[in-house]
Amino acid sequence: MATSTGAKPANWNKAVESDPRVTPWSEEDHDQPIPKRPRGRSVRDWLVLGLAFLLVFYVVAFLVASFTTTSSTTGESRGNFFSLSGGDIALIPIHGEISSLTSSSSIGYQDVINALEAADNDSSISVIFLDIDSPGGSVVASKQIVSKIIEVEKPIVSWIGEAGASGGYYIASATDYVMADEDSITGSIGVISIQPNLTELLEKIGVRMETIKTGELKDIGSPYNEFTEEERSVLQTIIEEAFTSFVNDVKTFREGKLNATLFEDVLDGRILSGRQAKAIGLIDETGTRAFAIKKAAELGGIKGTPTIQLFFEREVTLRELLFGAGASIGEGIVSSLNQKAESNTSIEAK
C-alpha cells in the first residue's frame, strides 16, 4: 500500500524531522548517519590562521626592512629597493695595520679580498668605496689587496681619513680615484725592517744565548747577536727590491697625475699631509668623507642620495675582549723600550 504524503515512515526519527535536507518522500535510508552541521571554527583552526597571519606579517616586514633605507650600527644607510638611485655604494673599511690575519689592531688581507669580490659580484652595487685608516703593514699582505683591486671591474674610490701611509697609501694608489682629508697623514713611501738587538740587555741580566746553525746567515736578524756587514747587505738588498716595486707601481697607478720632480723628493719615506699629497699628485682631491662618498656616487652613475652597503665589519672576539687589557700593557712596555723581540725577520711597508 502506498504511503500518503502526510504519513511518516516507521523508521522516521526526530533528527530526521529537524533536518531540512531530508524530506518525507526521500527514498534514502534514514537509518544512515546524518552529516553533522558545522559548529563554527575550532580553537585549533584559529591557532593555525593566527600563525599563518604572523608568518605573512613577518615575511612582509622583513622584505620592507631589507629593501628600504635604514641605518646600520656603523651609521651607514642600507640599500633602498624602491629608490631610483640606480645602484648602491659598497663600503669596505681598511682600518688598522695591514696583516695576514684580522685582529683587534690589524686588518687581514683575505677579509678585504673577500669583500671586494663580493661587492664586484653584487648586481646592486655600482661603485666600491674604500675607507682607509691605516699606517701600512706587511708588504706581502698589501700586495694581495692591490692585486685584487686591479682585477675588480667596478669603479673603486678610496678615501684616506686619519692615515693612509706606506702600505695604506699603496692600496689607495691602485684605486680609480684617490681622496683624502686635507689634514690626513699619507705618503711615507718606503720599506722598513726593524730588528731588535738584546745583546746588552742579556749581558746585564746574565743570560747568554747559544746558536747552532747550518750556515753563517741562518740566524740573520736574530735579536741575540750583533748585525754583521754581510747580514746587513742581504737585508738591504731585499728591502731595496720591495721599495723599487712599490715606487714603480705608484708611478703606474698615478701615471699622468704625478709631478715627477716632487715625487722623487718624497721618496725618502717622509709622511705628507693631504694637501701636500694633492700638490704632488699622489691623490686626486681633498675633502671630507661625506664629500668623498658623493664623489663615489657620481663616478658610479648613482643619481640622488646614495645608499651604502657595509661589506666588511671586523667583529671583536671574546678572546680580544678578555685579553685586550693585557695586550695593551704589553704593547706599552714594548713601546717604552722601543724594542720588539722576535726571531723571524719581517719586512713592512711603513
Q: Which residues form the catalytic set?
A: 166, 218
Q: Cell 725618502 sits at which residue?
A: 268
CA angle in degrees (0–180, nearest 5) for 83-85-90: 110
Distance of CA 174 to the CA centre of its chain: 18
Residue that is written with C-alpha cell 590562521 in the block: 49
Q: Is 22 exposed, middle or buried (0-12, 13-18, 19+ CB in 10 A)?
A: middle
In angstroms, the Cα distances linking 130 to 50, 158, 325, 337 are 47, 5, 30, 35
Tell me the CA distances in angstroms from 78 to 81, 90, 177, one per residue in order.
10, 10, 23
- Angstrom distance (rounded) from CA 249 to CA 16: 98
Interatomic CA distance for residues 139 and 348, integer angstroms: 5
Helix (H) or strand (E) holding 158: strand 156-165
Per-residue CA distances from 228 to 124, 179, 208, 342 (Å)? 57, 43, 18, 18
- Cα gap 155→299, rounded to integer Å: 7
- Which three cell numbers, joined as nine digits, stand for 130? 674604500
The residues near 257 (Cβ < 8 Å, ≥ 6 apart) are: 281, 284
In terms of residues, how long is the chain?
350
